[in-house]
Amino acid sequence: MPQEYLILIVGYIFGFYMAWNIGANDVANSMATSVGTKAITIRQAIFIAGILNIIGAVFIGSHVTNTIRKGIVSTEILTDPHIALIGALSALLAAALWVSFATWKSLPVSTTHSIVGAMIGFGIMAGGFSAINWTKLAAVGLSWIISPVLSIVIAFFIFKIIVRLILSKNDPFSLALKLSPFFIGTTFFVVVLSFLFKTPLGKKLALGNQDALFVALILAIFFGFTGMKVLRRFTKDRKAGAELIFRRIQVGTACYVALAQGANDVANAIGPLAVIYFLVKTGSVGAKVPVPVFLLLFGGIGIACGIGMAGHRVMDTIGKKITTLSNTSGFSVEFATATTVLVASKMGLPVSTTHAAVGGVLGVGLARGVEAVNFSIVFKIMLYWFLTVPAAAITSMAIFKILQLIL
């Protein structure tokens, strides 16, 4: 068997391992609060997230990936196909090992930052420090602040609004039902915009920014009032209060985050694998690489397997260990996560869904008082965030050197 095809087989193994780790660690971003508040069981969360991640990866995931994630490493280092192959393999394995370690520790980390750090390690080994775009790396560093802070603010104020308008009143159940079109509609507005505003789908439908806003608004109004009618029909237990209403809404928000996760994060596993695939097939690779649908499906299945086999570990940390969550606060977290990812990504700012999810949980905890937050686990999570890029980079450099000796 030619050496290139052996490398491709190893690439598939490493790519699947990375996708598996994305599922194991990142499922918490979408489902942790729903499981923590008992809106759904952990088995239901695993099943729903697994299916939606595959759908998101295949039908919404990017069919073109940047050769080097986020443009942090110069594409000039890819001129030698052999070096590019070894580098892509190193990056995949290094990123996967770091995420796997963090999952074992039950701590949420950014899979995007893991692959970025791993690519930096490969870039330094292949082209020296001059091959790294340090300005771009600084922008990634900004996301350690932007994502959680924006999500903290949104979750804090959404939860405070719910408390002020609903939970502090005499009949929270009726008020939650009455105001449900606003909360459902606002959620749908964010969801629809995320799929139409400055996206390949929006371009296919030939929708400009104003058109996308108009479509999102119309659908938000329609689904808001439709949702209220459904809630009126199927939610009869007034004793459960407003929490029962938000339990239903919360699951819908969680499904959106799972769908978006499959669409966005599949590139962290499949991007480097697509580079390996096209280097083996064609002998060269450009700055952007087309991603075949079967690779997106491969990545989606890998993510789903990770969710099913190890997703519970990090879910437990985000859903239960940072602060105690209710259905109303859980909804606030998921809405904040989805909105943060939408706003930051559409503004061209680097964003991490993991950081946004943790920020949202922290935001609702702070809304109930500083004493409601377990800061020891928060500081531990933040330490792992800061270690992600250097740890993945150093591991990638070591693996690159080993693979150079073997291959």
Percent of the chain with pLDDT over 90: 37
Place of tokens 């119309």: 218
Percent of the chain with pLDDT over 70: 92
Contact status, residue 389 vs residue 91, Cβ threshold 8 Å: no
All structural domains of the chain with their residue ranges? 3-406
- Which of 72-76, 133-137, 276-280, 324-328 shows the lowest mean pLDDT across its residues? 72-76
Q: How confident is the model at residue 161 (pLDDT cuts 50, 70, 90)?
A: very high
Tell me the pLDDT tens digit for each residue of 93-118.
999 999 999 999 999 999 888 998 99
* CA–CA gap between residue 27 and residue 66 (Å, rounded): 24
Q: How confident is the model at residue 17 (pLDDT cuts 50, 70, 90)?
A: very high
Give the pLDDT of residue 68. Answer: 60
Give the pLDDT of residue 69. Answer: 57
Contact status, residue 89 vs residue 10, Cβ threshold 8 Å: yes
For the record, the structure tokens of 394 come out as 């150093």
* CA–CA gap between residue 139 and residue 120 (Å, rounded): 14
What's the chain's length in residues? 407
Q: How confident is the model at residue 204 (pLDDT cuts 50, 70, 90)?
A: confident
Question: pTM, whole model, 2 decimals?
Answer: 0.88
Q: How confident is the model at residue 62 (pLDDT cuts 50, 70, 90)?
A: low
Using alpha carbons only, give the angle 128, 129, 133 rounded to the nearest 5 degrees: 125
Residue 132, classed as helix, strand or coil, is strand
pLDDT at 300 over 80: yes
Tell me the pLDDT tens digit for each residue of 138-154.
877 777 788 899 999 99
For the record, the structure tokens of 369 come out as 């008082």
Tell me the pLDDT tens digit for each residue of 68-90.
656 778 777 778 888 888 999 99
